[in-house]
């Protein structure tokens, strides 16, 4: 049950940050910071989500 409570808390924080960011007249940098915070909070809720697999090493023959 503790895990569900942690997820609920993180989702509540994500919702709060998103709502404040959308209703306030944020500068570009502030909106970017809000997105970073949301991303970090979501990452904590999704262990082993494999998002690192999106990034891969380029082969040596791909250089320009």
Instruction: Locate the domains of the chain by residue range.
Output: 2-46
pTM above 0.75, yes or no: no
The per-residue DSSP string of 1-64 comes to -HHHHHHHHHHHHHHHHHHHHHHS---HHHHHHHHHHHHHHHHHHSTT--GGGG--PPPGGG--
Q: Round the CA-based radius of gyration of the chain to a whole number and report it.
A: 17
5-47 pLDDT, tens digit each: 888 998 999 999 999 998 988 888 999 999 999 988 888 777 6
């Amino acid at each position: 049950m503790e895990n569900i409570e942690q997820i609920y808390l993180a989702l509540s924080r994500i919702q709060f940050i998103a709502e404040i960011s959308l209703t306030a007249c944020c500068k570009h940098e502030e909106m970017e910071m809000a997105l970073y915070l949301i991303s970090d909070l979501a990452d904590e809720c999704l262990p082993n989500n494999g998002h690192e697999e999106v990034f891969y090493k380029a082969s040596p023959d791909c250089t320009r």
